[in-house]
Amino acid sequence: MTLTLALVQILNGLQFGLILFLIAAGLTLVFGVMDFINLAHGVQYMVGAYFVAAFTAMTGGFFTGLALALPAALIFGLLLELLIFRHLYDRDHLDQVLATFGVIIFLNQAVKFVWGAAPLNVPIPDALSGAIEITDGLLYPVWRLIIIAVGLLVGLALYLVVNKTKLGMLVRAGASNAPIVSALGVNIRLLFTIVFGVGAMLAGFAGAMIAPILSVEPGMGDNVLILAFVVIVIGGIGSIRGAFIAALLIGLVDTLGRFFAPTLLRALLDPSAASQTGRAIAPMLIYILMAAVLFFRPSGLFPAKK
């Protein structure tokens, strides 16, 4: 029983990690290729969730809602790029941070203005709302298994595009040295727009997939943003492979840490002290992990820049 429970927790960690990967993948590409720190990436995730909530309510079905939300997230991302971000590419990182922070402030309030402060509900499609019985009494929701499958598929697709296509070659080249790529006559503007669009859509997609599980509310992207940054920094900026591994690592460490830390400490301390210390340590684990990784590998696990 304990073993099954541990396996289920590993599954939970994987699922959390894959959602993080969907968000971090776009962020690491935009940062790596365009050298652009986009703090607004988290609100793009939020906007994706709001779009799917709005379109699902409008059309009555999750999948039609999703089908409309994805292009909407793409258009929204490109609109932001055209209006604001495009003017920030040749600015220093601090200007980028400040302007994209302005976008966060605006959008967090704007969704509240449009949809109200109350969290929105997105129902899971009926056929997928059940749970699978793993062992006696231990159920696992089908929707979460779908998230795991979709996350793995997107990861595979990104891997193939980045490693096996011409576009992917340009992206990799851009991540390791953008000025040279530009000097070689590649339309770097177009490349930037494609990368940015894909990143925005992936973030929106992650928001849409998580919407049936989490409440859709203003500010839902803020903490996810920080976690996504932790992921791309541990993985090495610009590296899809790094983001994938780091996202799973964070997902597993966080989930298993919360589960096992109090239990493990019980061997060393008395029960109440153990659970108190465990509770204090568990949320710190991912930051301790990041500090440790950066201590030994100051540019992350898989640095894209040479």
Partner 1 sequence: MKQSLKLAGLATLMMSVSAIPAMAQEKIKVGVIVSLSGAGAVLGQQARDGFNLAVKDLGGKMGGKDVEVIVVDDELKPDVAVTKVKGLLERDKVDFVVGPIFSNILGAIHKPVTENKTFLISPNAGPSSYAGKECNPYFYVTSYQNDQIHQILGNVAQKRGYKKIYLMTPNYQAGKDFVAGVKMDFKGEIVEESFIPLGTLDFQAELSKIASMKPDAVLTFMPGGMGVNLVKQYKQAGLLDRIPFLSTFTVDESTLPAQQDAAIGMFGGSNWAPNLDNAANKKFVAEYEKAYNSVPATYAFQAYDAALLINSAVTAVKGDMSDKTKVIAALKKADFPSIRGSFKLSNNGYPVQDFYLTKVAKRADGKFQTEIVEKVFSNYADRYAKDCAAQ
Partner 2 sequence: MNNLVDLDAAPALATPTRARRTRILPVIIFAAFALVPLALLLGPQSYVLAVVTRIMILALGAMSLDLLIGYGAMISFGHAAFVGLGAYSVAILASHGITDGFVQLAVALATSLIFALFTGAISLRTKGVYFIMITLAFGQMLFFLTTSLAAYGGDDGLTLAARSTFFSLKFMKNDLAMYYVTFGTLLGAYLLLRAIVASRFGRVLRGIRENPVRMEAIGFAPYRYQLTAYVIAGLIAGGSGFLLANQTEFVSPAYTAWQRSGELIFVLVLGGLGSLHGAILGAAAFTLLADILSHYTENWAMIFGPILILVVLFVRGGINGLFGGKP
Binding site for partner 2 (CB under 8 A): 31, 35, 37, 84, 87-88, 90-95, 97-99, 101-110, 112-113, 178-179, 222, 226, 229-230, 233, 237, 276, 279-280, 283-284, 287-288, 290-291, 294-295, 298-300
Query: Distance (Å, rounded) from C-alpha 82 to C-alpha 74?
Result: 12
User: What backbone torsions phi and psi does residue 123 show, to the nearest 5 degrees?
Assistant: -75, 145
d(CA 16, CA 25): 14
Residue 102 or 123: which CB sits closer to partner 1?
Answer: 123
* Residue 110 or 128 having the CB closest to partner 2: 110
Q: Would you say 50 or 62 has its CB closer to partner 2?
A: 50
Count of C-beta atoms within a 10 Å radius of residue 125 = 16
Cα 171 to Cα 26: distance, rounded to the nearest angstrom: 12
Is the separation of the CB atoms in 289 and 249 below 8 Å? yes
Q: How far is the CB of 67 from partner 1 (least distance, A)?
A: 23
Measured between alpha carbons, how far is residue 106 from residues 80, 218, 260 in Å? 12, 11, 40
Please, what is the Cα angle at 291 between 290 and 296, to 5 degrees? Answer: 100
Nearest CB to partner 1, comparing residues 154 and 286: 286
From the list partner 1, partner 2, none, partner contacted by residue 216 (C-beta under 5 to 8 A by kind): partner 1
User: Any bridge partners for residue 141, and if so which?
Assistant: 131
Q: Tell me the closest approach of the beta carbon of residue 13 to partner 1, in angstroms.
A: 8
Under the criterion CB under 8 A, does residue 76 sit at the interface with partner 1? no
Q: What minimum distance in Å lies between the beta carbon of 40 and partner 2?
A: 10
Query: Taking contact as CB under 8 A, which single stretch among the options 6-14, 156-164, 182-190, 294-302 is the one that binds partner 1?
Result: 6-14
Residue 151 contacts partner 1 per CB under 8 A:
no
Q: Does 118 bind partner 1 (CB under 8 A)?
A: yes
Q: To which H or E segment does residue 107 belong?
A: helix 93-115
Q: Quote the CA–CA distance of 290 and 282 in Å, as a whole number.
A: 14
Q: How far is the CB of 92 from partner 1 (least distance, A)?
A: 30
112 touching partner 1, by CB under 8 A: yes
In contact, 131 and 142? CB cutoff 8 Å? yes
Four-residue CA torsion sign, 157, 159, 165, 170: positive
Tokens at 113, concatenated: 């203005």
Rounded least distance, CB 20 to partner 1, Å: 11
Interaction between residue 8 and partner 1 (CB under 8 A): yes
Residue 44 touches which of partner 1, partner 2, none (Cβ within 5-8 Å per kind)? none
For residue 176, the number of C-alpha atoms closer than 13 Å in the C-beta half-sphere is: 9
Residues at the site binding partner 1, with contacts judged by CB under 8 A: 1, 4-5, 8-9, 12-13, 15-16, 109, 112, 116-121, 123-124, 129-131, 137-141, 143-144, 212-220, 223, 255, 258-259, 275, 279, 282-283
